[in-house]
Amino acid sequence: MCIRAEKASAQGQDTGKMTAPIAKLSFWGVRGSTPTVDPATWRYGGNTPCLELTAPDGTQFILDCGTGLRMLGSRWAAPNGNGNAATHIFVTHYHWDHIQGIPFFAPLYAENNEFHFYSFRSKFLGRDSLKQVFETQMALPYFPVDMSAMSAKRKFKEVEGGESFRIGENTVTAKWLNHPQGCLGFRIETPAGIVAYATDNEPGDAKLDENLKELAAGADIFINDAQFSPEQLATSRRGWGHSSWKVGAQVAREAGAKTLVLFHHDPDSTDRMIDNVLRQAREEFDSVFAACEGMVVTLGAVGDRVQAHMPGSRTALRREAQFRARVCGVTEGGKDFEEQTLVRDLSLQGALISLKNLPRLQSELQVTMETAGPDGEAQSMKLRGYVVRIDAGTEKGHTSVGLYLRTEGTAE
């Protein structure tokens, strides 16, 4: 089984034309607990859990309804027929970060759309738990419009841990995970590969740990809760219902999963912290990615490497490596001015480069830039580039690579 990935696109646009069984998994929200807007978290993203899986038969699955769901809705393309016109939405549990996107999901307000919701009966809510969640979220004074504005067709189905059922050509299995007030993990087997989605779970309950392993068994993509560090998990955050990269790597190994995706990042984890977590995880398991908003994984495409591509980041990556500068401004006295100057200390956030080789997503590159010094002599600047984006290049045989850059020092 090989996994390839490409630029994100709204689902349903091209899958109908594919001949090989290909499934696309898109990450719309990857943050745990609460959305983050801190710029130090932008590279991995601040929206709470929401994934989209388009199966080879065109069936569209949505996993969780965190704030990432709004983004999915804004790029909405309804499923492309084949008798699979309804979208199947799985909600793992009722904590805020997994339901908060529902009232902001625009396709729910269009009567031509049809959604089938799957979730468990909570002992705190009783019958029609998810339906009650909808009503409560939109009750006065929490939301400006009421449920009657939601004109899309909606069906609600209760799912229990241990259940397994078919949707189109795909098999879905639900298992209980160890989390306060309960949480379901889902395993979706498509003709193109197997995705195991196990957010919000803490190790330590033998039976539920076994469930996690069963979900992950032989999966092409195993998405696991990696909110805390192993140290936090053993001490201050014990009992909070979450896991670590280390446990994920161990379960992936034991269950024979092919690729591990670290998920449900802590709101206090900055991009740099997640980079470090990923580095450590890659020392213990071969194929690991840190879930990132906009990441798209394709299952079942031809090729023999594991890859994941990402569309552009929110911040402009392109910079001209030109250190002579012209500065325009307003003087203290209120007069416009313009002058030539030289930037001596340049901090680059990112760059876009074109490569013949295809670097690994979320890996580091050494970049040395040749520039002209103050008197025209050649100077070089060494930078550490972290691969955050891979696109098909405009030049044939080249790949366009987006880098997040850090200075490593300059040399003559």
| Interface with Zn ion (CB under 5 A) | 32, 95, 97, 200
Q: Which two tokens stand for residue 336?
A: 């416009």
The nearest distance, CB 31 to Zn ion, in angstroms, is 9
| Nearer to Zn ion among residue 96 and residue 165 (C-beta) | 96
Q: Are 123 and 157 in contact (CB under 8 A)?
A: no
The nearest distance, CB 296 to Zn ion, in angstroms, is 22
The nearest distance, CB 172 to Zn ion, in angstroms, is 20
The nearest distance, CB 263 to Zn ion, in angstroms, is 10
| Nearer to Zn ion among residue 84 and residue 199 (C-beta) | 199
Using CA atoms, how far apart are residues 107 and 73, in angstroms rounded to an integer? 6
The nearest distance, CB 163 to Zn ion, in angstroms, is 20
Using CA atoms, how far apart are residues 265 and 49, in angstroms rounded to an integer? 10
Nearest position to Zn ion, beta carbon = 95
Q: Which two tokens stand for residue 90?
A: 């799985």
- How distant is the alpha carbon of residue 248 from its chain centre? 16
| Nearer to Zn ion among residue 224 and residue 313 (C-beta) | 224
The nearest distance, CB 352 to Zn ion, in angstroms, is 34
The nearest distance, CB 156 to Zn ion, in angstroms, is 20
| Nearer to Zn ion among residue 159 and residue 405 (C-beta) | 159
Q: Are 35 and 101 in contact (CB under 8 A)?
A: no
Q: Are 77 and 111 in contact (CB under 8 A)?
A: no
Using CA atoms, how far apart are residues 323 and 355, in angstroms rounded to an integer? 23
The nearest distance, CB 198 to Zn ion, in angstroms, is 12
The nearest distance, CB 178 to Zn ion, in angstroms, is 11
The nearest distance, CB 239 to Zn ion, in angstroms, is 13
The nearest distance, CB 276 to Zn ion, in angstroms, is 22
Q: Are 265 and 42 in contact (CB under 8 A)?
A: no
| Nearer to Zn ion among residue 55 and residue 91 (C-beta) | 91
Q: Is the peptide bond before 359 cis (omega within 30 degrees of 0)?
A: no
| Nearer to Zn ion among residue 200 and residue 293 (C-beta) | 200
C-alpha distances in angstroms, 130 versus 73, 297, 372? Answer: 19, 29, 63
| Nearer to Zn ion among residue 70 and residue 95 (C-beta) | 95
| Nearer to Zn ion among residue 200 and residue 271 (C-beta) | 200
